[in-house]
Amino acid sequence: MAAPNGQVLSLVSILIDVTLSVSHLPPRGGDVLADTARTEVGGGLNVVTAAARQGVRVSYLGRHGAGRNGDLVRRALAAEGVQLALPPTETGDTGFCVGLAEPDLTTSYITLPGVEGDLTPAELEVPAITGSDYLVLSGYDLLYPVSGASITDWVVAGKVPAKLILDPGPLVARIPAERSFAILEHLDVLTLNEPEAQELSATPFTGVTLVNALRRELPLPAGALVVLRSGASGCYATGGALGDQILSFPVPRVEAVDTAGAGDTHTGVLVARLLLGDSVPDALVAANKAAAISVTRLGAATAPTAEEMA
């Protein structure tokens, strides 16, 4: 297959993950002993790694700090062949996220943003973006007061010729409604899990009924592709090249050991496969397979390569 003209671009903030394995969450004001601990680059690294391992060009457009955390981010991106659009931000360091991972594979997070949360309008003007590119956004970055305003104004002003993808993330309910709706109106792809979809649509539904609620309640363009990720049940999709039909895509059965980052893997592979020219159904099948493989591996950036998926 010939290399595509475009590339995958990401504004999904990359930060450091500190993950502690615990038997249970501590009570308020209490304590709990952790069994293991890991420190690794995470956050938006999962998305760009998943895309890069499918053999496409990938660039990270966000900020990265001048300190030790930023050094870790740059090394991780270099190892995956991901390009940086911006130099290090000299005024501070990359932020970090503490995760508490329970035996049932549920992980709870506390995030402290660093310089990645203060992206300026001028920094968004740096990268050259074309209509052949795919740009991935995260709800985390829309939530940040500075980055969120910068990104929203940039998109609304019509300065983004790329195809626009949003993965809202677990804090979707905290994003200012006017900011969420402004971005939704410009999307080519909305991809999210069921809890996020319920928050965004303000409905308790699941499955096909929830997909219909998203289409009914959200100000999406008529041609936008909507992908609802349903964990071990796979995903549902409608819109875009699928038209009005709602299709269900099962996921391979696996023995999961770590589900953190599975949604990011799904998004990264979906976007990469669309860039490579796959049909929407084929891209979703590949994304499901990649996410299933990723949850059998411990840690961040566990997406498989294209060769592993062949």
Residues with pLDDT less than 50, the chain: none
The full DSSP string for 83-132 is: EESS--BTT----EEEEEE-TTS-EEEEEE--GGGG--HHHHTSS---TT
pLDDT in tens, 202-245: 999 999 999 999 999 999 999 999 999 999 999 999 999 999 99
Residue 111 lies in a domain: no
pLDDT value for 127: 84
Report how far residue 143's alpha carbon sits from residue 152's, in angstroms, rounded to the nearest whole number. 10
pLDDT (tens digit, 9 = 90+) per residue, 183-198? Answer: 999 999 999 999 999 9
Helix (H) or strand (E) holding 289: helix 280-294
pLDDT of residue 303: 98
Q: Strand pairing partners for 18?
A: 39, 98
Give every CB contact of residue 304 below 8 A, 6+ residues apart in sequence. Answer: 53, 290, 293, 294
Residue 36 CB-density burial (10 A; 0-12 exposed, 13-18 middle, 19+ buried): exposed
CATH of residue 201's domain is 3.40.1190.20
Distance CA 73, CA 76 (A): 5
Place of tokens 């990265």: 64
pTM listed for this prediction: 0.96
Domain assignment of residue 153, yes or no: yes
* Domain assignment of residue 56, given as a range: 8-13+46-61+117-303
Does residue 179 lie in a domain region? yes
Contact 65, 41 (CB under 8 A): no
Residue 259: is it exposed, middle or buried by C-beta count within 10 angstroms (0-12/13-18/19+)? Answer: middle
H or E element, residue 15: strand 14-22
- Alpha-carbon span 167 to 263, nearest angstrom: 9
88 lies in a domain?
no
Count up the domains in the chain and report the number. Answer: 1
Residue 2's pLDDT is: 63
Flag whether 288 is in a domain. Answer: yes
Residue 3: what pLDDT?
Answer: 75
The pLDDT value recorded for residue 137 is 99
Q: Specify if 175 maps to a domain.
A: yes
Residue 72 lies in a domain: no
